[in-house]
Chains A and B, each alone.
Chain A
Amino acid sequence: MIRIQSVSKSFDGYPALDDLEMTIQTGSIYGLIGVNGAGKTTIIKHMSGMLRPDNGIITYDGDGIWENEVLKQKIGLIPDELYFPNGYNMKDMCRIYRGFYESWNEDRFEEMARLFKLDMKKKLRAFSKGMKKQAMFCLVMSTMPMYLILDEPIDGLDPIVRKLVWKFIVDDVADHQMSVLISSHNLKEMEGICDYIGIISHGRMLLERELDSMKSDLHKIQVSFGTKSPQDPYEGLNLLHKESRGTVDLLIVRERAEKIEETLSEYDPILFDILPLSLEEIFIYELGGEDDEISKLIF
């Protein structure tokens, strides 16, 4: 389990991380989402042991990350900005990783390079952006990490490659309980693969839940009682938002679906739809809800 406890970091007075709390369960795939500048890349750089927080602590199953070379053996990082030394090709990079990581798996590397169709002799700086990410993926996964951290991994990858990437990740999670952290903007894809979600805003964790419970907790309701609308039918419900278009009310309710149904069916509505929100909608709602201007735009 990766624990980030009360981590704060300022850059020249600007608070990039503000008392951040984050927990990644072992063997889970955690999706970190937030707008640009919310702190995703910053916390990832802390988790890889590059930056040191002003306050707080980051531990992997109890071990602190700072200057911990034994722990770093088990961590695989694919950063947003990739780096390959000038003139290096896949064989050269393979040599570096083989020299650094005790758990380097040569067979897996060869298999992955073959599946991703990567030219071992071509200079990596000449690869397209997508191919560079694939190359990095092959290298990092071949170190057989226990903890995998991906910063915007799917950017620029075509659907076939993306599927291949997920297959490898899912396989390792199932095989040896690898814990995965993914930061991405592609919410649809994250929805399909993550079981935990953390929404980060202004360096703080806004919402961190198991995805299923997040979705079962928040619903969009379309309800209409026709011309005979009852007095205050929504009493007892945790109503977050209400909008009326004619006789149809659009509601955002933080409540279990059964309870909503139970409450409202007493009033015999002529129109009643409960819609689970998609991750994208939850994201937009939670973050837009913070900001009055944005929430006016959305709703």
Chain B
Amino acid sequence: MFQLDAKSHKSIYEQVTDNVKELIMTNVLPEDSKLPSVRELSKDLTVNPNTVQKAFKELEREGYIYTISGKGTFVGSKDGIKLNPAMVAEIQEDIMASFRELLYLGFSLNDARELAIRAIDKASHGKEIGL
């Protein structure tokens, strides 16, 4: 379903949640479709099932997926996704930090802003989001 990046500085748990979120947000996994079981996914990725279990729990908590006992785990509706304000704040900080770095590199304020907007456009077209 997706690959893990061994060199990534993100933990496996984060990678699993992020990857699943991406698949859901890009509709590769449509609403109400069945996700692989914890067992299948952990075997597939060769990852500790407890880690996968934790990731699923978090995804369920955030509203991305839901579980029907006895039947499995399914993709939830996008409306159900809870916004986590702390996460939003953190992402805001990340954006600010990245922008500041452009300034450190010697970009003028305007050049930096332009570069930033171009980057945002690119991301919005959903192409090659390197996570």
Contact = CB atoms under 8 A, between A and B. Distances in A.
- A and B touching (C-beta < 8 Å)? yes
Interface of A: 27-29, 163, 166-167, 170-171, 173-175, 192-195, 212, 215, 270, 275-276
B82 interface: no
Interface of B is mostly: helix
A13 to B, nearest CB: 40
Contact of A212 (B11, B42, B43, B47): B11
B38 interface: yes
Contacts of A212: 11, 13, 54
Contacts of A171: 39, 42-43
Contacts of B47: 170, 192-193
B17 interface: no
Given A29-B50, A212-B11, 13 more contacts: A166-B46, A170-B42, A170-B43, A171-B39, A173-B48, A173-B49, A173-B50, A174-B42, A174-B49, A175-B39, A192-B6, A192-B47, A270-B104
B48 A29 contact: yes
Q: Which of B13, B38, B46, B104 has the most CB of A within 10 A?
A: B46
Given A167-B46, A192-B6, A174 B12 contact: no
A175 B104 CA distance: 52
B102 to A, nearest CB: 14
Nearest to B51: A195
